[in-house]
Amino acid sequence: GNSVTQMEGPVTLSEEAFLTINCTYTATGYPSLFWYVQYPGEGLQLLLKATKADDKGSNKGFEATYRKETTSFHLEKGSVQVSDSAVYFCAPDGGSYIPTFGRGTSLIVHP
């Protein structure tokens, strides 16, 4: 089955810093790729998605590009805010659009 590897957290940044959270996956074929975010005390939310190679998903200033050659889907944001503090999950589609989640990466942004 599909699997995902995310960088270990927590990632700690100052406000307005540049964010990269690395994600690589193993999969059969070319699955859709998702990033989910979980804010404190809330459920997971779909942040962005890409459904085919070279697609760029974007939302709320976050971006990720589907890189087939490197089987990666790194999450980036140019200038993080304190409100971006959350746990971020990279997830390839495990089939029938059911995400295959990893452990998530905790992001802590300081003022």
Partner 1 sequence: EPEVTQTPSHQVTQMGQEVILRCVPISNHLYFYWYRQILGQKVEFLVSFYNNEISEKSEIFDDQFSVERPDGSNFTLKIRSTKLEDSAMYFCASSEFGQVYEQYFGPGTRLTVT
Write out the residues near partner 1 by the rule CB under 8 A: 32, 34, 36, 41-46, 49, 89, 93-104
Q: Least CB distance from residue 35 to partner 1, whole Å?
A: 12
| Least separation in angstroms between CB 83 and partner 1 | 17
User: What's the DSSP call for residue 39?
Assistant: -
Pick between residue 17 and residue 106 the one whose CB is nearest to partner 1: 106
Q: Which of residues 26 and 79 has its CB atom nearest to partner 1 in the complex?
A: 26
Write out the DSSP string of 53-88: TT-EEEETTEEEE-BTTTTB--EEESS--GGG-EEE
- What CA–CA distance (Å, rounded) separates 43 from 18? 25
